[in-house]
Structure 1
Amino acid sequence: MSRPARIEVEAAGHLGHVFASRRPAGAAVGAPAVVLIHGIGVSHRYLQRLHGQLSESVDTYSIDLPGFGATPTPEHTLTAAEQATYILGALEQLGVLEFVAVGHSMGVQFAVEAQRQQPSRIPYLVLMGPVVNDQRRTLAQQALALGRDCLFFESPSSNALVLTDYFRCGLSWYLKNLRIMMDYRLEERIRGVDAPVLVLRGANDPIAPADWCRRLVDRGARSQFLEIDGTGHVVQHNRAAEVAASILAFAGIAADESEAPQGFTA
């Protein structure tokens, strides 16, 4: 796979980066693009393995949202809805009018808001490691879960990517966004999603436990649940091939759906 093209895009008054890989010859024709949306403090870098897997079959885009990665910090902290508006505007400028939105961790909140804002553009929604668990909503509980995940369930490479991006993000900007993340009620907002939803987690993920993910599935009109064995929160890095196959099969894009892990449940 060739390196994705980095495109600087200003939308809704904010500047971000979009990393684009166009459909290769012989890939699925007429399929919607797949857009990968990172979580708090991080960037497209921990999505690179998944991006590479998906780009073998479909147009794939990863985003560094305003204030993250190497993008300028906005003058004010953007809400989930404002980040969603940026995503939709940036992709529209690039001619991406229909896409599968794939959010990870806090990126799930942005993906949900994007689908609620312009449902006709997002026919499928994938929520990986969704936050924040409605039964563990304190900062102390979230910090403990993150620590357990890093110590026991992540690979050295996923920890290195996440921690170096946290350092680049900076404590002040991280804490401002943490308040946005903690206040967001995903269990309520998902009721307004008008699209099939796949809730996906690493089977060892202490941040997005199975009971929480199943509660989200129960609240979605057309939702499915899938666990990927042998990994924690950063499932898309540690099990990129399995996650990619699952996304493509869920969205009806995969040429051979037998490659996807079995076990989608309603």
Structure 2
Amino acid sequence: MSTGSAGRGTASRALLRLALAAPADAAGLTSQWRHVDGLRTHVRRSVDAPPGTPVLLVHGLAVSHRYLTPLAVALADHHPVYAPDLPGFGLSAHPAEAYDVPRHADHLAALLAAYRLPPVCVFGHSFGAEVAAALAVRHRHAVRALVLAGPTSDPRARSRTGQLRRLLLDLPRESLWQAPVLVRDIADARPWRVWATLSHSVRNRIEDDLTRLTVPTLLLTGARDPIAPPAWRDRAAALVPQVRTVSVPGAAHNVASTAPRQVADAVRALLDDRVLDRLDTLTNR
């Protein structure tokens, strides 16, 4: 084995340990639970939070906070970070039915209220981007800025089979350390919940929320993402009143996991006070 391969293997093992660490403390992250609307909700959050705008990380379909931990660590030096497990996923309690997009958004709004946070930056990845957009529209007072990373679902593949085909294209492009995390997350959620949530996702027209956004927004994708390809990213960006776009070279769909430093830099650039003030002015004209 070459030295480079050994180094990559060591890094992958470290990322896997970090992703699977909860509820134990690791890398400046800790686990907390809040009872929200009668549901025990797990939140992975930064411990020694700096005074910047809090960032809420919203995970995608079939997964949990786990794969977002590299991004949480990358952001935590500059911003308080909160990475909840959506109802039925990860270490959160399992309601009897799978929540749709609006219900997930309302649950997160209640969670933010439970923490008494000021308006936050919401980072939503994949299905989490659908939830994040709905949160920004339904609870505008709670959201300061919005990041939509690899948002689903492209109307050209807006069906369960269409999304699954694109997922199969994406899997070989992702880092191998993510595979055990995905298996753990699906086992936690149960396959029926994953399937039901996918059904909710493809019935949700994210376009309707995109046109109603009133906060500074970043639309971010991996350059090799087959689930949110460039044509869909550009179409989605055209619907947002004021938006910045970023494409991360070499990254596929799970850009937050495989390129956390580049993604964190893009989020910090959006949250620069001068950028927010300028985008606020443009959005509210």
Please indicate, yes or no, whether the TM-score normalized by the shorter chain is above 0.5: yes
Q: What is the aligned partner in structure 1 of residue 196 from structure 2?
A: 176
Q: What is the aligned partner in structure 2 of residue 245 from structure 1?
A: 265
Give 2:80's match in structure 1, choosing from 39, 46, 59.
59
Give the TM-score taking structure 1 as reference length: 0.89
Give 1:17's match in structure 2, choosing from 35, 42, 47.
42
CA distance in 2, matches of 1:2, 1:200: 25
Q: Please tell me whether the aligned partners of residues 28 and 47 of structure 2 are also in contact (alpha carbons under 8 angstroms).
A: no
Q: Please tell me whether the aligned partners of residues 108 and 128 of structure 1 are also in contact (alpha carbons under 8 angstroms).
A: yes
Hey, which of these two has a bigger chunk of helix by percent?
Answer: 2
Give 1:215's match in structure 2, choosing from 206, 227, 235.
235
Offset of 1:225 from its aligned partner? 1.2
Q: Please tell me whether the aligned partners of residues 23 and 58 of structure 1 are also in contact (alpha carbons under 8 angstroms).
A: no
Q: Please tell me whether the aligned partners of residues 191 and 220 of structure 1 are also in contact (alpha carbons under 8 angstroms).
A: yes
Q: What is the aligned partner in structure 1 of residue 178 from structure 2?
A: 158
Q: What is the aligned partner in structure 1 of residue 18 from structure 2?
A: none
Percent identical among aligned pairs is: 26
CA distance in 1, matches of 2:33, 2:187: 22
Q: What is the aligned partner in structure 1 of residue 142 from structure 2?
A: 121
Q: Larger radius of gyration, structure 1 or 2? A: 2
Structure 1 counterpart of 2:69, which letter? Answer: Q
Q: Equivalent residue of 2:157, what SS?
A: coil
Give 1:102's match in structure 2, choosing from 123, 128, 138.
123
CA distance in 2, matches of 1:22, 1:141: 40
Give the TM-score taking structure 2 as reference length: 0.83
Q: Please tell me whether the aligned partners of residues 124 and 131 of structure 2 are also in contact (alpha carbons under 8 angstroms).
A: yes
Offset of 1:75 from its aligned partner? 2.0
Offset of 1:139 from its aligned partner? 2.0
Q: Equivalent residue of 1:166, what SS?
A: helix
CA RMSD of aligned residues (A): 1.6
Q: What is the aligned partner in structure 2 of residue 49 from structure 1?
A: 70
Gaps of 5+ in 1: 255-266
Residue 227 of structure 2 corresponds to residue 192 of structure 1: no
Q: Equivalent residue of 2:147, what SS?
A: strand
Q: Please tell me whether the aligned partners of residues 23 and 60 of structure 1 are also in contact (alpha carbons under 8 angstroms).
A: no
Q: Equivalent residue of 1:65, what SS?
A: coil
Further displaced range: 46-55 or 181-190: 181-190
Q: Please tell me whether the aligned partners of residues 199 and 224 of structure 1 are also in contact (alpha carbons under 8 angstroms).
A: yes
Further displaced range: 42-51 or 93-102: 93-102
After TM superposition, the runs of 4+ consecutive aligned structure 1 residues lying more than 6 A away are none
Q: Deviations over 1:217-264 (max 9, x none)?
A: 10000112110011111001100000001101111169xxxxxxxxxx
Q: Please tell me whether the aligned partners of residues 133 and 212 of structure 1 are also in contact (alpha carbons under 8 angstroms).
A: yes
Offset of 1:22 from its aligned partner? 4.3
Gaps of 5+ in 2: 1-25, 275-285
Further displaced range: 127-136 or 154-163: 154-163
Aligned residue pairs, count = 249
CA distance in 2, matches of 1:2, 1:178: 32
CA distance in 1, matches of 2:218, 2:90: 27
Offset of 1:66 from its aligned partner? 1.0
CA distance in 1, matches of 2:187, 2:251: 24
Structure 1 counterpart of 2:42, which letter? Answer: H
Residues 22/59 of structure 1: CA separation in 2 closer, same or farther (3 Å cut)? farther
Q: Deviations over 1:5-61 (max 9, x none)?
A: 21111212323111121455xx4x4x3101100011110000000000100111111
Q: Please tell me whether the aligned partners of residues 43 and 64 of structure 1 are also in contact (alpha carbons under 8 angstroms).
A: yes
Give 1:6's match in structure 2, choosing from 31, 38, 44.
31
Structure 2 counterpart of 1:238, which letter? Answer: T
Give 2:224's match in structure 1, choosing from 181, 204, 210.
204
